[in-house]
Structure 1
Amino acid sequence: MLNRRKVLQGIAASSGATFAASLTPKRLLASPTRKAVPKRIVFFMQNQGFDPKTCIPEGMKSSGSLANAKLPEPIGALEPYKDRLHIINGLHGIHTSPSHSAFFGALGGYRGSDGVPPSASTIDYELSKVLPQTLLPHLCVGMDSIENMKTKPTIATLSASGAGQPIFMHSNPNHLYQMLYGGISSGDIRLQHEARSSVLNQVEKLAATKGRSLPAPDQQRYGQYVQGFKEVNGLRTRLDTVADHLRKFAPTVDERYTKPEFETDWHDVLLDLGISALTSGITNTLTIGSGRGEIFGAWKGLGIDQQGHNLGHMDQPGNPIWIKIRQYNSRMLVRIMETLESVPEGSGTMMDNTLIVYTSNNADKQHTNGANWPFMLLGNFDGTIKTGCFTQLSGKRPINALYTTLLHAAGQNCERFNMDDKMAKKFDVGTGPLKEVLV
């Protein structure tokens, strides 16, 4: 069980990494008529691997249109959205040494392992800096068994703002709701929000005072801890100033929050909170970790009794358990798209300016060497990404090349992402973005 000290450390660490920008409410409510397109991106990371046979239409061996193809059963929910889909096969992540999971390396494109801190920032964080800034530049949510989500409501395994700077993901929807919408709530939620706010304000003041008495070498490190509380308190204040706007987007709190029957009840409301953060403009970068980047995970609400590592030792193609999990993922992707499609933006909808990236933190399967790392992209990101197609690559370009491509699509030109010349000489046969992906 987490003690008070560990909980406070988690709050400080997550807020210090995530709430990096000091923004005013005007940035949240920027005019839709501005020239800058309010792009946003969603990363959905499923653990235990993503077998290409569960997403590539039968018979497709080479690149081509999806127009006349039928999507496999696991992703069948995406069939009506084929014209917005781009399936990519043949990237590699050998250099990330994934095995059970690449952890931070899955989004960072570098070597990752259990317990190893990030060696650089991850692509989701880098994109959050490039995209139009919001009150909360980057939100991470993590889905797991109900036991793990309760005992470890925050965990950092997938995203990072720099070397040794992990970004925590939120797994308890009650805590996340309080953080985002506690200021506009009533009843117990409002009382808990006010009590939590009072405690955090006191902790910030006390920590700042005590920090001055530390030896000089420790003051800088302790200062980062204090800054975490300062920034989370500042975020709460900024959210309170746009309360009227947020009331239009706050999800309804029901028994799924307080009395979940299965862990999938919490998965569903965490997704609702993530979507609401996008539609309200609180954030433009959402990272979803199904399985939280580790080897665990449970889906009893889908009628699946087995959980955790054992799921990774099952072949995915044709497996009824993995068909259910992937179908559940696909329905979640549809929920994101349909909600964003319902919100007008500029001359179209929010979905017109959004990209959803679906993959695994573990390449194609459990205990993999990362030689093949499939991806699915949904949306054209304001006309910058090709859609309605399947791309088969040679296996000689790394996942870093796709991340370079995403940066280009967001307006940030670069030749490589997190790969120096020495590494590129060994693991990448090309430079720059993937021409097969960009329009």
Structure 2
Amino acid sequence: MSPETTRRQLLKGVALGAGGTLLQPILSQLEAHASGDARPSPRRVVFVVQSNGMNPEHITPTGIQPPTERGNRRPNNDTLFERPLRDVELPAPITALTPFKNRLTLIRGLSGRIALSDHSANHGALGCYPANRGPMGQTIDLALGDALPGMFRHVGLGIMNRADQTMNYSLSAAGPGRTAPIQCSPELAFRGLFGSVVGGNSRQAFDRRTNLLDFMADDVRRSRDALAGEERQRLDPYLEAFETLRDRQGEIGRLQGRMRQHAPDLSERFRRPTETNRLEAQFEIAAAALIVGLTNVVTLTSGGGGQHYISFPELGIPVDGHHYGHGGGVTNMTYEQCFVAVRQYHCRLIAELARKLQKVREGDGTMLDNTVIVYLSDSGDGHHPSLYEWPMVVLGSLGGRMRTAGRFLQFPRYGARGHRTTANLYLTMLHAAGRPRDRFGVPDPGLRDLDQNGTIQELLA
């Protein structure tokens, strides 16, 4: 019996023994890899949507000066402006993404005026239609969920400005009149996402999530111990993902013990955890869901959709985003410094998510190789947006299907020949995901003389 045959049989046995658990997707991948099956690795998409606008200068690298108008700083180039990121520094607001500079494309000049609003574009941010008419059509995250189906077609996670608000219905949509909820309670997100997968009579004895996570981590560990060499190493990041969640649950468990002794005060603190704690928990849940194969499409929102402006006292910003969005500062910080601090924090979370995916070996590369992360604001270029441009940060190539390696792009100005919109970017992503369309959303009447359909060829590999 050849060593390869032994590996395949061992993996098949482990997969059967772990049947019905969270390990099934990865064990199936390992079995296919051992048998020489050339099936492509799953492709994944993550949207990170932050409220309060994204200043285009925040994504313009030091040393790059794209053509802009005086005063309003809108793009005024008539042709594509492109520069490599190789020899420039990322600006301070996004410097946490520097380790991934060779995977980044920083995009300016895409307009989205069809979704213009006084603040949030709501469903229009991801749907490319008027902001305040509800879900007029499918948003891009749900469209990609159809193109890249997983155990869960789409997972929406986030936070709003109040911890007791557990659902956001103002950002994602499955179709006309059909909102797709964003779960804004990490506790409920965990129960709904992981509890449903490991449900059944044999799991009903686990009343606490900590015990549930112990079970899942032990399941990964047992399967890992049954393997050797390369396959064993490939399971290490999965074990780490569960242990990270388990550690967080352990912290909550210790809080629960103290709550029983000091119920009135600590109970309220537990029900209203810090904003950073909630958002970090959602990023950890998203990473685990992607790593174990529960979903291939995640939307993470920090106040995006519905004008939920978050305060971040842990960052020294005790006021909500509406305050500094209107030019108000706080002690020792100007409004611009507040914007920068919050942007830096979100970029650190994105970088940590990318690092976790990069640690997971998949095919001949890593899970990050098969992923694209898109970072944007639901209100485009500012607190009170103009949407003549909608700045975006794109990290990853979606399995080599998108050309995003170390580039700064500013597309031609609004109305110029060659100008492109957010809809064109979303059509590009659908094409890369294997589900091409001719058009997406509602055309901008201000661009009626331009062809608004089709992909952005400069972003396709």
TM-score (norm 2): 0.72
State the 1:27 CA deviation: 6.4
Match of 2:102 among 66, 83, 87: 83
Say whether 1:269 aligns with 2:281: yes
CA distance in 2, matches of 1:181, 1:346: 25
Question: What SS is found at the alignment partner of 1:35?
Answer: coil
Contact 2:25-2:292 at 8 Å conserved across structures: no
Say whether 1:390 aligns with 2:394: no
CA distance in 2, matches of 1:35, 1:135: 18
Question: What SS is found at the alignment partner of 1:402?
Answer: helix
Say whether 1:283 aligns with 2:295: yes
State the 1:181 CA deviation: 3.0
State the 1:254 CA deviation: 3.6
Q: Which amino acid aligns with 1:325?
A: V
Say whether 1:174 aligns with 2:184: no
Cα pair distance change 1:334/1:427, threshold 3 Å: farther
Match of 1:334 among 316, 327, 351: 351
Say whether 1:110 aligns with 2:129: yes
State the 1:417 CA deviation: 1.4
The residue that corresponds to 1:355 in the other structure is 372
Say whether 1:72 aligns with 2:91: yes
Q: Which amino acid aligns with 1:52?
A: P
Say whether 1:301 aligns with 2:293: no
State the 1:412 CA deviation: 1.9
Match of 1:403 among 426, 429, 454: 426
Q: Which amino acid aligns with 1:108?
A: G
Question: What SS is found at the alignment partner of 2:106?
Answer: strand
**Total equivalences in the alignment:** 365
Question: What SS is found at the alignment partner of 1:397?
Answer: coil
State the 1:188 CA deviation: 11
1:16-165 aligned within 5 A:
30-32=28-30, 33=33, 35-60=39-64, 61=66, 62-113=81-132, 116-131=133-148, 133-145=149-161, 148-150=162-164, 152-165=165-178
Cα pair distance change 1:57/1:172, threshold 3 Å: same
Say whether 1:310 aligns with 2:314: no
Cα pair distance change 1:179/1:190, threshold 3 Å: farther
The residue that corresponds to 1:224 in the other structure is none
Cα pair distance change 1:373/1:41, threshold 3 Å: same
State the 1:59 CA deviation: 3.8
Contact 1:107-1:158 at 8 Å conserved across structures: yes
Q: Which amino acid aligns with 1:43?
A: F
Q: What fraction of aligned residue pairs are identical, expressed as a percent?
A: 31
CA distance in 2, matches of 1:58, 1:427: 35
Q: Which amino acid aligns with 1:168?
A: P
Q: Which amino acid aligns with 1:161?
A: A
CA distance in 2, matches of 1:163, 1:43: 21
Q: Which amino acid aligns with 1:39?
A: R
In structure 1, runs of 5+ residues without a counterpart are: 1-22, 194-239
Question: What SS is found at the alignment partner of 1:357?
Answer: strand
Question: What SS is found at the alignment partner of 1:363?
Answer: coil
Cα pair distance change 1:70/1:96, threshold 3 Å: same
Cα pair distance change 1:314/1:159, threshold 3 Å: same
Q: Deviations over 1:6-57 (max 9, x none)?
A: xxxxxxxxxxxxxxxxx99866864353513300000001111111101111
State the 1:315 CA deviation: 9.0
Match of 2:207 among 191, 194, 202: 191
The residue that corresponds to 2:304 in the other structure is 292
Q: Which amino acid aligns with 1:389?
A: R
Question: What SS is found at the alignment partner of 1:74?
Answer: helix
Contact 1:28-1:135 at 8 Å conserved across structures: no
Cα pair distance change 1:276/1:256, threshold 3 Å: same
